[in-house]
Structure 1
Amino acid sequence: MRLVQYGRSEDEWAQLTSVGKEFLIERARMGRTTSYTEFNAALVNRTGAKSFDFDLDSDRAAVGALLGQISEDTAEEIGGLLISALVQYLDTNDAGPGFYALARSKGFAVPASSDDRQLFWAGHVGHVHKYYSRR
């Protein structure tokens, strides 16, 4: 089995991507967000894969890459929206910097001020919820 990025096999990465996408769609249909911790726990519970350790830079980067791939895989279906907007820091009301970097790379005008950025993120979450609530 060939290893891919972050020490996960190609098959395991594909499974994590598929299961992560299903989990985020479930959250969107319920009109909810999730935390990185809950997302990680769902991956472990649903796949049996090793947990990502958020104390390690490499594992934080792996989760960011995984969420980026899930967003790429779903963006066309949901009109360019980024489903990774649903994942936020535990006990905060904002997305991680990876969401904003991906949004910029996709051509979204991400505001500079933190208040405006948070409004941008909340609007994105609302649009993702609205899209999936109709499905």
Structure 2
Amino acid sequence: MKFGRSDDEWDAMVDDAVGVLCDQARLKRIVSYTDLNSALARRGHIPFDFDSESDRTAVGYLLGDVVRQTIGDSGVMLSAIVAYLNRNDAGPGFYKFATELGLLPNTASAEDKLEFWSRQVGKVHERYARPARHRSNRGTTGRVDERAE
């Protein structure tokens, strides 16, 4: 059991959080904790209560599990695109976990942390972004150049 959820429920929530975040990263978006919570609830999970300290902690662990599941393939912290509502920054758990992973030095200043987060967001968007769609390139024959499709 993790935070009142069975191991199967937790694993399903992590998988769904990965799906939600990948979808948003493809669109080059930043997601608030509230939006992530709502998306998980729409997928059938019991929503987190952000007024509860244990549920706020649970979200941090959930995002940590998201990163553990995806960083090997992506090389980036997918959770970087989760930020506080109406703020342009990640939560303190993001920086603590980045330090634990050896991606951010213990001595990082507030400015260093913000720059790290910004770079991670860019890398997440780059890694997961939809490939650009090319418009049809029509030559003088009027035929579509299939290499551009």
1:34 maps to 31
Q: How does 1:1-135 map to 2 (within 5 A)?
A: 4-46=1-43, 48-79=44-75, 81-110=76-105, 112-133=108-129
Deviations along 1:94-114, whole A, 9 cap, x unmatched?
000111011001111246322
Using the size of structure 1 for normalisation, the TM-score is 0.91
Q: Secondary structure at the match of 1:5?
A: coil
How far off is 1:115 after superposition? 2.4
Deviation at 1:134, TM superposition (A): 5.7
Q: Distance in 1 between matches of 2:28 and 2:51?
A: 29
TM-score when scaled to structure 2?
A: 0.83
Asked which structure has the greater RCO (Cα within 8 Å, sep 6+), the reply is: 1
Q: Which amino acid aligns with 1:131?
A: R
Equivalent pairs, count: 130
Hey, which bits of structure 1, 4+ residues long, moved more than 4 A? none
Is there any run of 5+ residues in structure 1 with no aligned partner, and where?
none
Larger radius of gyration: 2
* Letter of the structure 2 residue corresponding to residue 21 of structure 1: V
Counterpart CA distance in 2 for 1:13 and 1:5 is: 7
Superposition RMSD in Å = 1.3
Question: Which runs of no fewer than 5 residues in structure 2 stay unpaired?
Answer: 132-149
Q: Which amino acid counterpart does residue 35 of structure 1 have in structure 2? A: S
d(CA) in 2 for partners of 1:115 and 1:89?
A: 17
Identity of aligned residues (%): 45
**1:5 Cα deviation (Å)?**
1.3
